[in-house]
Every structure is written in C-alpha cells, then in structure tokens.
Amino acid sequence: MAKTTNVTIEYHNTWIDISVPENAEIFRYGSPDFPEIPLHPNPEQAVRDALDNPIGIETISELVKKKSKVTIAFDDHLKSPAEALRVIIPVVVDELLKAGVSEKNISLLCATGLHCKRRPNELRALLGEQTYNRFRPFSWREGSIHNHDCSEGNINYGETRLGSEVEHDSALVNSDLLIYVGTIFPVTYGGYPGQGVVIGLAGQRTLKSLHSYDVFRVGGALSGDFRPDKNIYRKHKLAVNEKIEKETGKKIFYIDAITGPDAKIVNVFAGHAPELEEKTYAEADKYFVAKMSRKDIVVVGMPNHLGYDTSDNPLVLCSAARRAVSVWRNKPLLRRNGVIIALTQCTGEITSRRPTDVEAFRLYNDHFEAKNLWDYYDAFANNPEYLYKYRHEYAYAPIHGIMMAQGVDTLKRVARQTIFAGEVNPGVIRRTGTMPARNFDEALSKAADIIGKDLKDADILVLPSYSHDPKPVFEVE
C-alpha cells in the first residue's frame, strides 16, 4: 500500500482531514517557501510618508486650492479590505483639510465597478464608524458617501488607441482632484491591481470592452504577470487610464497599500500611474513571489463564502476554483493534462443579489462558444428588471452574470479537468463541464485516470488554507 500523509484542509464552513500521497507537496503561508510577510509598525505614518513623497505627480497640497472639490474613490470590500481603508482615508482627509480644502467639498465614492452597490451598513463596516458618521451623519440622507453606478450618469470619452470604449463616472470631470485608494495583492488578471479608476469607476460599456473574450479570457491575460507586453489585460487598462487623463485634462492621484495577512498594511505608495506601479509591484514581488515546479494535480479547499456569492453558485464556484492555478509567471502552473481538485459544497442555489446568473448560465449551455454570450450585452444591460434590482435592491450589475458564465469556459483553459469533491449536486456540476465526486479519495482516483499517471509518479500540490492566507504568485520553473 502506498504511503500517505494526512492534511487538514478547508471545506465549506469547517476543516476536514484528507490523505494525500506521500510525494505530494503541501504549500502553506509562513513556510520557508512562502515566508511570513512583515507588517508595517505604523500604518498611519506609512500613509503620511507616501503622501509626502508621491511618485510622478505633485503632492496633494500642490494639486488643490481652498475651493477645490475633491472626490476620494475607494475599492469596495471585494478588492480593498476595510483594515486598509480605515487607516488611509482619515489621513487623506486630514491632508486635504491642512491644504485648505473645505470638508463640505470632500466626497467619498465607493468604486464598485460591476459589483453590487454597498448598503449603508456595508459602507459603515468598510469605512468605520467615525468616517461613515462624519460624511453621512444622518442615516436617512446620502450625505457625502456615494456608490458608483455603472448603468447611468457616466461620461463617454470615446475609445483608446487599442479600441477599448471609455465610459466613466462623472466624478472624474466634476472633481478638481480625484484621489483613488486601492490595495495591492496578487490577483488572477494582471498580476496585481492598479489603475483602480479604470475598473472601479467604469460604465458597463467599458467593462464589456475590458472583460471581453479577446482581452480577459486569453492566455495573455490569464497569468500573474503584470508587464503590459506580456499581459494584454494590463496593456488595455493602462490605455484606458491614459485616455481618461487626456480627455479630462486632469491627473488621477493614486494611493496603493500593499496588504498582507489579515489584510493589514505592509507598505503604502502614492503617485501617478503608470510610474507608481514600477515601485509598488517591485515591492510586492519581494513578499508574494514563490518558486514552484509544474504540477499534474492541484488540490485546494474552498470556503462557503467566495466573495461574489457562496460556493452553492456554480458560476462563482468555477471562478474561485481557477484562481489558485492562474496566478503564475514564466509557465502555467498546471501541465497541459493537469487537474484541479476543489473540496467544496454546491447545491446550485444562486442568491438574490445575482439575478442575471440563471439566464447567463442557460445561455452558456445553449451556445457552442462562450464568447457568443456578449451578443446578449444589450439585452442584459438594458433589461428593466435587472436594472431596477441593481439600482435599488443592491444586486450585481446586469452584465456581471455574462462575465461569470464566460468564466466557466475560462476554467477549461487552465485545467484539463476540474473535479468538485464533497456534498455537491452532480447535475449542477456537470452542467459547468466539470466533474463531481463524492469525496476526495474518489476525486483523486479520477484525477489519476485523467493525467494518465500512477499517483506515486504524479506531481501534486496541496493548498490547505489558500482562501485564508496571503496569496502567492507562483514563479514556475
């Protein structure tokens, strides 16, 4: 009998024990292969130092006047953790007041992109009680805290030199200075976030362009490489940022915090894109890049809450399963015949904040090519029921369902097969083109058949607590 190693791995709302072949590589944060990331001892001072030394742009005090209208935009909770925003925004407000800007001329804008608008209690949790009450003192009034709306009130600036449509929030024109607060950590597309205005304050037409099949779902985007010449998505984002500044005649002031364990601040940088990224990305690489060899099988535990929805939603589940094998450089983490095993629960239930997913999933199953889903852009983007739910019931934007259904196809681009093991609805899983399994042992046996190797000869990577830990960028040898 082959020797095995016991591993405790995340599963839904709990942890379970599985037995993996002895030759499997178990990768954890805090190990020599991915050392603990040092947190900044004084996060507020890190913000002040960054504001005093912006990269490629003047300081805030040099960019504003006493009567200036300033918008502080910030990523929503799916991109920026509350921990960072609660530190950064009060310091920025203080800096504006010291420069003579009136507090009544400062507004906060949650840059949701295609995500759902944030309810008052969600904004309070994101910003903290003090900042929330300061800018929205009465719960029955909106005050000076707003949600971006990707469906209306945006300004069309034409197209970039690469052909992407540029339609963005009117705050970019109505503000004398727009300050954007974001965070830096590894992401599936483009390596790291950046140029937050491009996505966070975009209208549906821009987001259609940037998330089209030809930009967002190709090999040049599905990696952790942030170099524009290597990543087409990054190339398009930078072109949009450039177009916005050219048309508005104003520079955007970015503040980016590198975040580590528990979403706490590691370091902070401020400045102008793209000059800013040369510093921030190089600094982030010091903490997140981990050497890794190519694998036949990657095993990952999946929590119940996956950001966009729960693991019961098959579209969101497929998107989340792809992440662990997509943040790579040099070579894809999985070999051409590779398999993902995701331990999870999935009933097929889709929550009310995602009203377009059911129709988008149906269309996905009705068409030969996933890219044909964008033929239904106008039907989704202008659907009165979807728009009402988005604008008034805090649902995701109408076309987000198309993106997530398209992502099911993307999962097939990074793995020969994905096996969802656990308490899953087998019919729902099969509709995504993936494979169900009752448990991990069954999934491992199926994976061995797919890769055509004996498990003792297979290269297996196990990620027991991937969703809880800082995410690595795998530099594949």
Tens of pLDDT along the chain (477 residues)? 478 899 999 999 999 999 999 999 999 999 999 999 999 999 999 999 999 999 999 999 999 999 999 999 999 977 556 889 999 999 999 999 999 999 999 999 999 999 999 999 999 999 999 999 999 998 767 789 999 999 999 999 999 999 999 999 999 999 999 999 999 999 988 899 989 999 999 999 999 999 988 888 777 788 899 999 889 999 999 999 999 999 999 999 999 999 999 889 999 999 999 999 999 999 999 999 999 999 999 999 999 999 999 999 999 999 999 999 999 999 999 999 999 999 999 999 999 999 999 999 999 999 998 889 999 999 999 999 999 999 999 999 999 999 999 989 989 989 999 999 999 999 999 999 999 999 999 999 999 999 999 999 999 999 999 998 999 999 999
Predicted pLDDT of residue 142: 77
CATH of domain 4-36+293-476: 3.90.226.30
Q: Residue 140's pLDDT is what?
A: 64
**What order do you get walking across the sheet with 70-75 strand by strand?**
145-147, 106-111, 70-75, 177-184, 253-259, 265-271
Whole-number CA gyration radius for the chain: 22
pLDDT, residue 3, reads: 86
- Give first-to-last CA distance, the chain, whole Å: 32
What's the pLDDT at 275? Answer: 96
Strand partners, 159: 165
User: Global pTM?
Assistant: 0.95
Which residues of the chain does CATH 3.40.50.11440 include?
A: 43-287
Helical H segments across 382-462, by residue range? 384-392, 400-414, 426-431, 440-451
User: Could you tell me the fold of the domain covering 43-287?
Assistant: Rossmann fold (3.40.50)
Residue with the two structure tokens 């037409």: 205
Count the Cβ atoms, other than its own, within 10 Å of residue 370: 20
pLDDT at 389: 98
* Phi, psi dihedrals of residue 190, rounded to the nearest 5°: 85, 5
Domain with CATH 3.90.226.30 in the chain: 4-36+293-476
- The answer to whether 144 and 107 are in contact (CB under 8 A) is yes
- pLDDT for 80 equals 54
- What are the phi and psi torsion angles at 373 (to 5°)? -60, -30
Distance CA 23, CA 330 (A): 24
Task: Calculate ∠ Cα 110-193-328, nearest 5°.
Answer: 145
Q: How many residues does the chain have?
A: 477
Read off the tokens for 166: 């540029």
